[in-house]
Structure 1
Amino acid sequence: MKIQPHISYQDNTMHVENVSIASIAKDIATPFYCYSYAAIEENYLAYKHAFSQQNTLICYAVKANANQAILTLLANLGAGADVVSEGEIRRALQAGVPANKIVFSGVAKTRDEIAYALDHNILQFNVESEPELQLISELATAKNTIAHISIRVNPNVCANTHEKITTGKSENKFGIPIAKARDVYQYAASLPGVKVQGVDVHIGSQLTELTPFEQAFSKVAAFVTLLRSDGHDISVIDIGGGLGINYSENETPPNKEDYAQLVQALLGHLGCNIIVEPGRSIVGNSGILVSSVVYVKKGEERQFLIIDAGMNDLIRPSMYDAYHQIKPVDITTNETSRYDVVGPVCETGDTFSKNRELPTAKADDLIAILSCGAYGSVMSSTYNTRLNAPEIMVNDSQYAVIKSRPSYEEVIDQDIVPNWL
C-alpha cells in the first residue's frame, strides 16, 4: 500500500523503496530521517520533462534540504542551485553544481558573501534592495568584474498560504514593489560593474493552486515588456519556486506539467530563459522522520503519545501549525485511539498533532511522520542539548547514513569556556 512516492507498506511493514524501516531502526537509533533516492530523482526529472519545451534552468532551492548527498544527487542530474548564503554556495560547489548554474537570492547578502560569489562568477544575483545593488556594484567594480543581476520584484499577490511563508505581498520584507521597480532598473543600468539581465519573482511557499502564479506571472510579463521599451535587455525571468506538496491526503497541489504550461502561456512569448527554483516539491515527499514511542500517558482530558522526536528535530508543526500525516511503521493492529502526539522538549509547543486518531500504540512502537524531506533536518537544532537526528538515504534495497548523529561530547565541546572562568 503506497503512502508517499516510493514509500509503502509491504507485509504490513513500512518500507522506503525496498528497505524496511524496522530493519533500519535495528541499526540506527531513533529518531532519524529517511529519504528515498528514487523519489528525489523522479521529482527533479518531472520538472525537467515538464519544462522540456522551454529554455529552462532548474535551480534546486538548497534551503529546503542542504544535505550534501541530496545536492550531489541533483547535481549529477544537471540541476543548478538557488542559494541564500555563502555557506549554501560552498555546499553547492562542493556537491558539483557549476558556478554558472548558481543563483544567489536572499535579502541580507553581506559584503563577504557578495565578494565570494563574484570570485566564483556565479550565474546571477537576485537583488532585493537598492543598498544591495549599490554594494554589488562597488565590489564588482573593485574586482574589475561584472555582476549579472536580476531584480526581485514584489507583485503584491496573495499566495493563499501560511502568513509566515508568503513573500509576494507589499508588507513582506522581500523584493522591490513592482510599482517602484522601473526606477530601480533605470538606476541599476547606470551603475558600473553591473549587467541587468533579468526579472525575478517569488511569491511564497507551499502554494496549492495556480491562480496566484497566474496573477504574478501576468504582472511580470507586462513589466518585462515595459522594461524592454525602456531599453533594458531582459533575457532571463526567474519565476522562483513555491509549488506545494500534499501534506494531507486531501491536498492536491497542481502538477508540474500544468505549472509549466502556465509559464509557457504567460511568459513564453517573451523569449526569455526561464529559471525555476523548486525546493519542497523536489524533496518534501521523499522523506520521513522515524520515531519511537517512549510512553503512552493518560491525562485527565487527553491521551498523550510521547515520542522521542521533538520540535528540535522537526519544528514545522510548532512554528507553522503545520499538518503532517503520522503513520505506524507496523500496521498489524486494527484498534485505534485518539492521541496528542508530543515530544520530549520542555515546551508546550513541542506538539506534532492534537486529538489525532491513530492505531493504538504502546511503548517502543515505531511511528513515521510523513512529508519531512523539506524543512525538517535542515531547520533542526540541539535545543535541550538533544542530539541532531541522523539522516539516511535509501536507494532500492540499500541504504546509507548521509549525516551521522553527533556525540554529546561533540555538541558540548562546541562551547568554549574562557580561561578566566
Structure 2
Amino acid sequence: MTVAPHFQFKNGTLHAENLSLTQLAETYDTPLYVYSRQALRDAWEAYRVATEGRNVLVCYGMKANSNLAVLNEFKNLGTGFDIVSGGELARVLAIGADPAKVVFSGVGKQVWEMQAALEAGVKCFNVESEAELTRLAQVAQDMGKIALVSLRVNPDVDAQTHPYISTGLKENKFGIAIEKAVEVYQHAASLPSLNIVGVDCHIGSQITEVSPYLDALDKLIALIQTLASHGIHLKHLDLGGGIGIRYTDEQPLTPSDLLNKVFEMLAQHQLDHLQIVLEPGRSLVGNAGVLLTQVEYLKHSEAKNFAIVDAAMNDLIRPTLYDAWHSVEAVKPRTQGDTLYDIVGPICESGDWLARDRKLTLQQGDLLAIMSAGAYAFTMASQYNTRPRAAEVMVDGDTAHLVRPREPLESLYASESILG
C-alpha cells in the first residue's frame, strides 16, 4: 500500500489527517481534490532544516499547485515563488507575497508579462533565449527600469526521468546552450537596462538521485569561473527544482542530500559565497493531496475489467500524458478476492484512464482515492467534454476548508454568445 503519511486508514476508512474521506465526499461530492495542510508544512520542514544557517532562497515552483490557500501557506512559512506566467505573478501578488523573492522563469514571456514583473519588482528574470533578452532589455528601457537577469543555461545533462519532464538536454526547448552562455552573458552586460545577478539551471522533474544535479553543477562552476575572468560576477546560483517524490517504490533524495553536496562542491572552488536558489514544486505538494472519485459502473469483459469512475483525464491528465503511476486505494477496502481493474473515466477518449491493472475489490458506488495527486493535477485540469473542474478542500486537523468550489455547469459557457 502506497499511502502518504497524512492519509492513513483509521477504523477501516481512509482519512485525511483526522477527517474521513467518506465524510468529505458526502459533504463536497466527487471528484474532489483533498489537501493536507500538515503535509505541506512537513514537506517544507525538510527544506527548512536543509537550508538553516545557509544562504539559500527556496522559491516554490507554483506551477505544481497554484491554489491560493497553498500559496499562502508557503508564503507564511517563508518561501519565495518561481513563476512562469503573468497569471502566476497575479496569484502571488494576490496573497501579498514579496515580489523581491519571486523568480520569473518560462520560455515565452510576453511584453505585458515583463511589464507586470518589472512594475512589481521581482527578484530576477530567468532569461531563456537571446531573443527574450533583447525584448526584456527594450521593455525595461521603455519603462525606465533596470531588469535583474539570470540566464537559464542548458547543460545537456540527462536527469534520468521521463522525456516529457526532462528539461536539461540539448533537444529540449529550455535555456541557452551552455557552450554559448559566455557570449550571451557578455551581450547582456553591454545592455544598460539589464543587471546580471545570477545563473539558472533546471534539468528536469521527479529526479531521485543527486548525481544529475552534481553533473550540472560541475558545468555551472566552470561557467561561473569563466564569467568571473571576463569581469562578470554573479550573486546567486539557481539550481532549479525537480526533487522527486514517492509514488510507488521510489527512494527520493532529500533537500539535505542535495544541498550538502552542493555546498561541498562550491567550497572546493571558493564559490560558497553565492546565494543558492531552489525551485521545488512537486516535492512540496505532491504527496499532500489525493483525488477522490466514485465508482459509477463496473464493466467486465474477456479482455479487460473496467472500473468506470466519475473522475477523468480532465481532472488528472498525468497518467494519459506521462504514463504516470498513481497508487489507487479503496477508501473503505473490502475483504473479498481482488479483481484486476483499469480505472477509467467517462470522457470519450481511449486515453482516458487513471490507472491500469490494479488489484481491487469493488462494488458500484465505492470511493477510490488517487494518491500523490497534489502536484501537476488540478493545475493541469481542463473542462473537456464540458465537465466542471473539481472542488478543492484543505484539511487542517479535524477541520475541512473549501478552498475552491466546484465550477457551476452554467459557468462553463456563460461568457459565450450565439449569432442572431
**What TM bracket, shorter-length normalisation?**
over 0.9
Given that residues 2 and 327 in structure 2 are in contact (C-alpha distance below 8 angstroms), is that contact kept between their aligned partners in structure 1? Answer: no
SS of the counterpart of 1:93? Answer: helix
Distance 2:370 2:68 in 1: 23
Cα deviation, residue 2, structure 1? 8.3
Stretches of structure 2 lacking an aligned partner (at least 5 in a row): none
Post-superposition CA distance 1:183-203 (Å, at most 9, x none): 000000000110011010000
Identity of aligned residues (%): 44
Given that residues 311 and 345 in structure 1 are in contact (C-alpha distance below 8 angstroms), is that contact kept between their aligned partners in structure 2? Answer: yes
Partner of 1:255: 254
Pick aligned residue for 2:331 from 329, 332, 343 = 329
Pairing 1:399–2:400 present? yes
Distance 1:351 1:8 in 2: 25
Cα deviation, residue 45, structure 1? 2.1
Paired letter, 2:132: E
Cα deviation, residue 411, structure 1? 1.0
Post-superposition CA distance 1:280-304 (Å, at most 9, x none): 0000000000000001111121111
Partner of 2:278: 276
Pick aligned residue for 1:296 from 289, 295, 298 = 298
* Structure 1 segments of 4+ aligned residues over 3 angstroms from their partners: none
Distance 1:57 1:97 in 2: 14
Distance 1:387 1:107 in 2: 30
Given that residues 2 and 8 in structure 1 are in contact (C-alpha distance below 8 angstroms), is that contact kept between their aligned partners in structure 2? Answer: no
SS of the counterpart of 1:305? Answer: strand
Given that residues 2 and 247 in structure 2 are in contact (C-alpha distance below 8 angstroms), is that contact kept between their aligned partners in structure 1? Answer: no
Given that residues 86 and 116 in structure 2 are in contact (C-alpha distance below 8 angstroms), is that contact kept between their aligned partners in structure 1? Answer: yes
Distance 2:113 2:357 in 1: 46
Stretches of structure 1 lacking an aligned partner (at least 5 in a row): none
Distance 2:223 2:127 in 1: 16
Paired letter, 1:68: L
Given that residues 292 and 364 in structure 1 are in contact (C-alpha distance below 8 angstroms), is that contact kept between their aligned partners in structure 2? Answer: yes
Superposition TM-score, scaled by structure 2 size? 0.97
Distance 1:112 1:225 in 2: 35
Distance 1:180 1:157 in 2: 16
Pairing 1:382–2:383 present? yes
Partner of 2:147: 147
SS of the counterpart of 1:196? Answer: strand
Partner of 1:98: 98
Given that residues 18 and 397 in structure 1 are in contact (C-alpha distance below 8 angstroms), is that contact kept between their aligned partners in structure 2? Answer: yes
Cα distance, 1:96–1:289 mapped onto 2, change above 3 Å: same
Cα deviation, residue 326, structure 1? 0.3
Distance 2:201 2:5 in 1: 29
Partner of 1:415: 416
SS of the counterpart of 1:59? Answer: strand
Distance 1:327 1:255 in 2: 26
Given that residues 340 and 358 in structure 2 are in contact (C-alpha distance below 8 angstroms), is that contact kept between their aligned partners in structure 1? Answer: yes
Distance 1:327 1:64 in 2: 23
Distance 1:54 1:253 in 2: 22
Cα deviation, residue 223, structure 1? 1.0
Given that residues 202 and 242 in structure 2 are in contact (C-alpha distance below 8 angstroms), is that contact kept between their aligned partners in structure 1? Answer: yes
SS of the counterpart of 1:383? Answer: coil
SS of the counterpart of 2:170? Answer: coil
Distance 1:78 1:92 in 2: 13
Distance 1:217 1:308 in 2: 45
Post-superposition CA distance 1:97-149 (Å, at most 9, x none): 10101100000001111011111111100000111111111111122211110
Pairing 1:205–2:189 present? no
Cα deviation, residue 180, structure 1? 0.5
Given that residues 310 and 350 in structure 1 are in contact (C-alpha distance below 8 angstroms), is that contact kept between their aligned partners in structure 2? Answer: yes
SS of the counterpart of 2:3? Answer: strand
Pick aligned residue for 1:349 from 346, 351, 368 = 351
Distance 1:416 1:124 in 2: 41
SS of the counterpart of 1:241? Answer: coil
Paired letter, 2:263: Q
Cα distance, 1:411–1:335 mapped onto 2, change above 3 Å: same
SS of the counterpart of 2:385? Answer: helix
